[in-house]
Structure 1
Amino acid sequence: MLDTTQIEVSAEGTVATLALANEATRNALNLAMQKELLAALDRIEADPAARAVVLTGRGKGFCSGAELGGLRAEGSETLGETVARQMDETTHPLIERLRGFPKPVIAAVNGAAAGMGASLALACDMVVAAETAFFVFPFAPNLGLVPDCGATWHLARRLGPARAMKLALTGERLAGPDAVALGLIAEATPADALPRHAQQLATAAGAAPPHMVAELRAAFDAALTQDFTAQLEYERRRQRTLLDGEAFAEGTTAFLEKRAPDFRKVRS
């Protein structure tokens, strides 16, 4: 059993749920919570029964961002030096772990996702939010900082520079339905339906061949940096490899046998 104080870890069917659970701070992403998330992800990756992950929050908020009251310079370092080192050692490894996790990760945003909390959600493969939830990036107008933990990367690509600048410079709160309309997140749902809906999405995503989440991430990333002809060539190269893989063989057999494919033992 994983010993945690800042998060709750549970499982239902093929889905593991990680819930940020420090309600007194609206689930502020302190270093202890970050380390517990990294350890939990290691455990989930090694568990063959877990095929997908839901990341959510307990209480009224998803994540209020950095725990500003807990920021302290250490030793002879300035505060900036300490936080930059902590980002190198813990925060960025967590964000990159989510972004590159070998199983699908769905963020179920149940309330406010502020600052680093919004960045944490956007690092996941899919973001669904309660209609009452909102996203806010208060770095620049409230703190004199740039959005971090991947926020500038995601905002520029999902919203375009003009809308990204508006959100970042004004600190505007973006409600769940508006975040869907702008293309920042996938869906917004009534708050009471969010946990079950996220579970269903994660179950469906986890039923796909296990290597496909990495394949799709790479394909969509390539599409944002290449011209159309280059992307066609990328797709041709990947199909050349994937058509000879176990997943395609199982999918074809299942189609011909009029049954659902079973990718649990597929490796490629």
Structure 2
Amino acid sequence: MVEDLKTLRVTHESAVLKVELSTPETGNAISGQVLDELLSVLDAVHDDPGIRVLVLSGAGDNFCLGGERSEFATLLAADPGGAGLHALANKARRVCDALATAHAVTIARLHGGVVGAGLGLAVFCDLRVGADTSRYRMPELGLGVPPAWGGVLPRLLNEAGTAKVRELILTAENFSAAKAAELSVLHKVVPESELDDAVTRWIRPLVRRSPAALRSAKVMLNAYAGASRLADASLFDAELLLASVTAAEAARAR
């Protein structure tokens, strides 16, 4: 497994790989380094058919409070043409695609704040359990950028439905774990003290399943979900993010 990780804590227990976002001092914000390390871990999962389940969690008080927005301005200042920001956005999409298409069943274990890019990572997992005290938000419009991170918008639309996601995006309001379950953002809601037990109850039958059957089931589920969309406009996420951040930085400089 990958070594010398700075932003993740990874433990490998038989057929289960546990990946913890481990920068609680930043609210486990998603930076370029976090994305690089997630890609390394997910590549290792791809090469190890013995891993049947991947559990994604967060250290500290929150699962993830979103993207590291200060990095946007830094990248744009270093390269006004936007190549660095464009690469960051494409890297986010690669991470989310890797979560969705991994042969292992991916489980999101959610507590505290699950915001923006953090919610994006979560919805690309196959199964999601949240603490009853967890809170959710898509804050992008309030921050002056579109919901263009990792392909999260089409994934949310497919999981929760267009009318409900429209409200979440346009209002940028917090919503509860109970609301997240109503929207199918969560499959289960439990007291925070029972999160690990809930994850374990999913893991036990999954590790007994035929690996080939699991892989086939995931391919079929992804294929049928994709077939419900005529086109995937999230391919333009990097361009949209670059345009909006560039405009915002130009306005700030006036």
Verify same fold: TM over 0.5: yes
Q: 2: CA distance between counterparts of 1:206 and 1:110?
A: 24
Q: 2: CA distance between counterparts of 1:226 and 1:35?
A: 30
- Matched with 1:192 is 193
Tell me the number of residue pairs that the alignment of Structure 1 and Structure 2 aligns.
Answer: 226
Q: 2: CA distance between counterparts of 1:26 and 1:155?
A: 22
Deviations 1:35-88 (CA, angstroms, capped at 9, x unpaired): 111212233344455321100000111111111123213577337543222222
Contact persistence 2:92–2:149 (CA under 8 A): no
- Matched with 2:105 is 104
Letter in 1 for 2:122: A
Higher RCO (C-alpha 8 Å, min separation 6): 2
Letter in 2 for 1:97: A
The percentage of aligned residue pairs carrying the same residue is 23
Which of 201-210 and 185-194 deviates more? Answer: 201-210
Instruction: In structure 2, list runs of 5 or more residues that go unmatched.
Output: 229-254
Deviations 1:129-184 (CA, angstroms, capped at 9, x unpaired): 11111221001123232242122112211222111110001112121122112222
Equivalent residue of 1:9, what SS?
Answer: strand
Ranges of 4+ aligned residues in structure 1 off by more than 6 Å:
none
**2:80 paired with 1:93:** no
- Matched with 1:56 is 57
Which of 218-227 and 49-58 deviates more? Answer: 218-227
Equivalent residue of 2:57, what SS?
Answer: strand
Equivalent residue of 1:169, what SS?
Answer: helix
- Matched with 1:153 is 154
What is the TM-score with the length of structure 2 in the denominator? 0.80
Equivalent residue runs for 1:239-254 within 5 Å: none
What is the TM-score with the length of structure 1 in the denominator? 0.76
Equivalent residue runs for 1:253-268 within 5 Å: none
Query: What is the Cα-based RMSD across aligned positions, in Å?
Result: 2.3
Equivalent residue runs for 1:229-244 within 5 Å: none
Contact persistence 1:73–1:79 (CA under 8 A): no
Letter in 1 for 2:69: L
Contact persistence 2:132–2:178 (CA under 8 A): yes
- Matched with 2:130 is 129
- Matched with 2:79 is 77
Q: 1: CA distance between counterparts of 2:208 and 2:215?
A: 14
- Matched with 2:218 is 217
Instruction: In structure 1, list runs of 5 or more residues that go unmatched.
Output: 228-268
Q: 2: CA distance between counterparts of 1:73 and 1:118?
A: 23
Letter in 1 for 2:79: E
Contact persistence 2:100–2:124 (CA under 8 A): yes
Equivalent residue of 1:211, what SS?
Answer: helix
**2:166 paired with 1:165:** yes
- Matched with 1:114 is 115
Q: 1: CA distance between counterparts of 2:45 and 2:164?
A: 36
Which of 205-214 and 59-68 deviates more? Answer: 205-214
Of structures 1 and 2, the larger Rg is shown by 1
